[in-house]
A = this chain, B = another copy of it.
Amino acid sequence: MIFQKGVLFVIHYPNGKLYQPSEPLSKPAKPVKKKELSFSNRGKTLEDEINETNTYYLNQQIAIIHKKPVPVQIVKVEYPSRSAAVIREAYFRTPSTTDYNGVWNGYYIDFEAKETESKTSFPLKNVHQHQVLHMKDVTNQKGIAFTIVKFSTLDRYFVVPFSVLHDAWRQMEKGGRKSIPLSIFETQTIEIRPGYNPRIDYLSAIKKLITNEE
């Protein structure tokens, strides 16, 4: 891991406080269920939330991180006159990397985002071997690899350092358990409280990890 000493970080921590957006003025007052006050329950996927976060980071020039396009094998393209080319036959390919990567203040950032509806553990079948291998390669090249896991039923988000995922993966390969229990998330990863903007401030968690390693 490379560390840059004396670097001024511009990331603000949510400090466990949820930002509350002001309600639109035109809406009539009505009893609001507790759940609706949460930011996590608007039908957004984790992917949407991370894309919003990355757009915020980009606009604020905090980091340049993008989702990679879905890899597609294109077989047939039509070129109708006076309109855009249309792909008429294509197939999904298996990605060889994780979904997100980019650069933040000199650090190479590389991660995968996963959701589970389980309330007690994260099933490792959500992770593919090529993703584990890719994150291992990235770590060996001194990049920062991690997974963002959302327990959607619990509305909880965790930044999982690759070392934690890697340990669980190796134990599974030796015949150990096929999931990571919530208690491991609570003790060995960094929980993120979702906010308004940035939505999922995962770089503040990464900053903590780096500071801890120093």
Residues of A within 8 A of B (CB): 1-2, 4, 58, 61, 63-64, 66, 68-72, 74, 84-93, 95-97, 101-108, 110, 134, 137-138, 140-143
Contacts and interface: CB of A to CB of B under 8 A. Distances in A.
A134 B106 CA distance: 15
- Pairs of residues from A and B, 6 with the lowest C-beta to C-beta distance, nearest first: A106-B142, A103-B143, A103-B108, A69-B71, A87-B90, A108-B108
A26 B134 CA distance: 40
Contacts of A69: 68-72, 93, 95
Contacts of A106: 1-2, 108, 141-143
Nearest to A144: B103
Contact of A61 (B91, B92, B140): B140
Contact of A97 (B66, B85, B93): B66
B97 A91 contact: no
A88 B89 contact: yes
A110 B104 CA distance: 13
Given A87-B90, A103-B143, 4 more contacts: A64-B141, A69-B71, A88-B88, A106-B141
B105 A141 contact: yes
A92 B85 contact: yes
Contacts of A87: 72, 87, 89-92
B105 A64 contact: no
A9 to B, nearest CB: 13
Point out which of A1, A87, A107, A138 has the most chain B C-beta atoms below 10 A from its C-beta. A87
Contact of A105 (B71, B84, B93, B142): B142
